[in-house]
Amino acid sequence: MFVTIFSYIMQRACHTLSYMDTPRNKPLDQLTETDLVKVALGDVIVRLRYERGFGYRAERKLSRVVGISNSHLRSIEEGAVSPSVVTLWKIASVLEIEPSDILTETRRLLDLSPRILLEYDPRKGFGETDEKE
């Protein structure tokens, strides 16, 4: 019993640490190209999820339909991990979009500067700025 509880606590602690170690939490000068790709891909998935009606609190439904855990989907969306080809294919299928369209949108986001990419909110888009002219 103790081993099971200890294992669970360690598993949660490792998940929390890995979740905090997302590219968005790194200084800009320490980001690699891989970090930027993971962030852009996660942002595209979040935006498509919201557009397709899997908004806030519906990520559990999406993860269940795709066949992955909610925490794994969240890690993908945060840019902490890259989805496998199969997972990306399943996400695209559920969102009724071609996987190539997800990758095209990811490439479009990568054309932005890293600073803009990290400040981009996929739920809101770029929208209007708060600056007054």
**How high is the mean pLDDT of the chain?**
78
CA triple 108-44-66, angle to 5 deg: 140
Residue 123 pLDDT > 90: no
Model confidence, pTM: 0.72
Predicted pLDDT of residue 125: 64
32-119 belongs to CATH 3.40.50.920? no
User: For the chain, how many residues are written?
Assistant: 133
Each residue's pLDDT tens digit, 55-92: 777 778 888 989 999 999 999 998 999 999 999 999 99
Each residue's pLDDT tens digit, 5-29: 545 555 554 444 444 577 777 777 7
How far is Cα 15 from Cα 127, in angstroms, rounded to an integer?
Answer: 33
